[in-house]
Amino acid sequence: MEIGMVGLGKMGGNMTKKLLKNNHKVVVYDVNQNIVEKYKEKGALPSNSLQNLVKSIEREKKIIWVMVPAGEIVENTVLELSNYLSEGDIIIDGGNSNYKDSMMLAEKLKENNIDFLDVGTSGGVWGLKEGYCLMVGGPEEAYLEVESIFKDLAPKNGYNYVGKNGSGHFVKMVHNGIEYAMMEAYAEGFEILKSKDNFDLNLDEIADLWNHGGVIRSWLLELTAGSLKENPNLEGVQDFVEDSGEGRWTVMESIEQEVPASIIALSLFKRYRSRQDDSFSAKILSAMRNAFGGHEIKKE
């Protein structure tokens, strides 16, 4: 099948490689033309603008996959593409967009009878090798039109149609909220293990052990084992943890829906705490303990 790919970063670039490997014809565009040339050498057809990308696609019903940063960039890219597309064409947003933004874009594209699919994409940099888990929202007929693309990007049983517009990114949002909580639980558990000095535990071996029949086995634990084997004390790794947005969106959704999500919320707040060089709230706690109980205040 012929498809246009907008955005050739880590995800979009690897998806392009995977599609080319599976004999799809891929027309590519990125704001960095040096990257476009790199993918031309891999067999993709280059383009130097969004308009040129659309014109370069020979397929009557054009399909364009957008893999650019969520928010204003996605909106601007999708709306500009819509100026060059025709009735029945399909735009896919496979990034980490907020599901409400996806619903809004779908409504705007409907005005020109252009179909929009919001695809929650999980797999990260391992997607090229392992395949991507794809959660697809939007018109079902559009999903069926491009299903062969999803099939070649995903592992077996790794893609599915989940519902109407917005649902794909909504499901991915919750997926990432759960991911935050799982990561925090692993991190806290390994910190407890490491604190037991007199046992001289080998953490990477324990992680590997747990992954063989343990109830908590997972791909995240597999990756953790690899990181600890390579760098047992994680030397040079700063205790600063960023978030890409989905965790906080999940917490906000839980508040809107009045559904308790205490573990996911705490895992998000732990990430915020990791970014503080100096915690004033911790100093307040220390001062209060000293005031009511005479507990020692540790000086800087």
Q: Which residues contact 224 (CB under 8 A, 6 or more apart)?
A: 186, 190, 207
Q: How far is CA 220 from CA 66, 124, 148, 269, in A?
A: 27, 12, 28, 20
Strand order in the sheet with 159-163: 45-46, 25-29, 2-6, 63-66, 90-93, 115-122, 133-137, 159-163
What is d(CA 85, CA 81) in angstroms, rounded to the nearest whole number?
A: 6
Q: Could you confirm whether 172 is annotated as catalytic?
A: yes
What contacts 78, CB < 8 A, 6 or more positions away? Answer: 66, 91, 93, 105, 109, 116
- Is 79 within 8 Å of 110 (Cβ atoms)? no
Among 17, 18, 172, 184, the active-site one is: 172
The upper half-sphere exposure of residue 138, i.e. CA atoms within 13 Å in the direction of its Cβ, equals 30
User: What letter would DSSP give residue 124?
Assistant: G
Cα–Cα nearest to 146, from 23, 26, 12, 3: 3
Q: Is 40 an annotated catalytic residue?
A: no
CA separation for the pair 110, 33 (Å, rounded)? 31
**Size of the chain, expressed as the number of residues it contains:** 300
Annotated catalytic residue within 179, 194, 222, 229:
179
Catalytic residues: 172, 179
